[in-house]
Amino acid sequence: MNGKVFLVGAGPGDPELLTLKAARLLGEADVVLIDDLASDDLLSLCPQARVIHVGKRGGCKSTPQAFIEKLLVHEARTGHKVVRLKGGDPSIFGRAAEEIAALDAAGVDCEIVPGISAGLAAAASIGASLTHRDHAQGVAFLTAHGAEGAQIDWRALARSPLTLVVYMGVSRAGELQSDLLEGGMSADTPIIAVENASHSEARTVATTLREMLSDFARVSLKSPAVIVIGEAMKSRAKALSLASHEREAEHAVFARFASRN
């Protein structure tokens, strides 16, 4: 008898941002395959399960995708209830499409359980709304690190009334800046980057398209971070830069919004 695979969103880090459904499935799982962006703290919810770490962080050695897919199929065919725990939401830059295709091809049942994506957590952590009736009529979730040859039409995005939420953008910040400037985006466009959103060590930097590179370098912004770009960030960017100026005397460049409890 076949088991089933659940592609489960682990949320951005704060265990309280896990859904109740994800918590229940973890408690019922026979096997859990966990990404390195999904917090290990969540493993306390599945003491009964066999846990397999399948880290895939950009630039580092990681478990090959084909191997993960084979493992999912194998475990489900053994009759196991398998939870594939992914950081944030599985359907956003989580290679869920490839895993679903592999499971479909093998005739294995699969279900997605959504999670809170890093971009949503980042906006929440700075008290910002991603849409704004006057400035942002939509949101685009983008990766600065697409598959080889994948082309994003930055010119169209630069002129669109969308808030741009850029994942995997830290090492590509230079290209991102020049593409958006070439695309016609104003150099004064407000930008807020959030590193480790929803974690206790979260850091936030408010800047503009003109100054983003120097500001990111000054604070040595690191992955994982999301870069949120657009007029909807204006009032929060202003509030955050005022806060960081006030703190400059204490050499604190970042405004910290790590925890609201």
Q: Which residues bind ligand SAH (CB under 6 A)?
A: 12-13, 37, 86-89, 92-94, 117-118, 122, 167-168, 194, 196-199, 223-226
Q: Name 150's Cβ contacts closer than 8 Å, sequence gap at least 6.
A: none
Tokens of 111: 């279900």
**Minimum CB distance to ligand SAH, residue 53 (Å):** 16
Least CB distance from residue 210 to ligand SAH, whole Å?
A: 22
**Rounded CA gap, 166 and 173, in Å?**
10
Instruction: Tell the smallest beta-carbon distance from residue 199 to ligand SAH (Å).
Output: 6
Q: Which residues of 169-203 are buried (b: 16+ CB within 10 A; e: fewer)?
A: bbebbeebbebbbeeebeeebbbbbbbbbbbeebb
Minimum distance, C-beta of residue 17 to ligand SAH, in the bound complex (Å): 10
Is 215 assigned a catalytic role?
no
> Using CB atoms, what's the residue nearest to ligand SAH?
88
What does DSSP assign to residue 220?
A: T
The nearest distance, CB 59 to ligand SAH, in angstroms, is 10
Q: 141-160 burial, b for 16+ CB within 10 Å, e for fewer?
A: bbbbbeeeeeebebeebbeb
Nearer to ligand SAH, 86 or 236 (CB): 86
Residue of 168, 185, 212, 233 marked active site: 168
Shortest approach of ligand SAH to residue 178 CB, angstroms?
19
- CA 146-175-237 angle, to 5 degrees, is 100
Q: Which amino acid is at 171?
A: S
Is residue 194 classed as helix, strand or coil in its secondary structure?
Answer: strand
- Cβ-based nearer residue to ligand SAH, 114 or 161: 114
- Nearer CB in complex with ligand SAH: 162/193: 193
Give dist(CA 87, CA 69) in Å, integer.
17
Nearer to ligand SAH, 100 or 168 (CB): 168
Q: What is the DSSP letter of 254?
A: S
Compare residues 145 and 210 and give the one whose CB is closer to ligand SAH.
145
- Given a contact cutoff of 8 angstroms between Cβ atoms, the answer to whether 125 and 17 are in contact is no
Residue 168 known to be catalytic: yes
Amino acid at 90: P
Query: Both tokens of residue 49?
Result: 């399960």
Query: Catalytic residues, which ones?
Result: 35, 56, 168
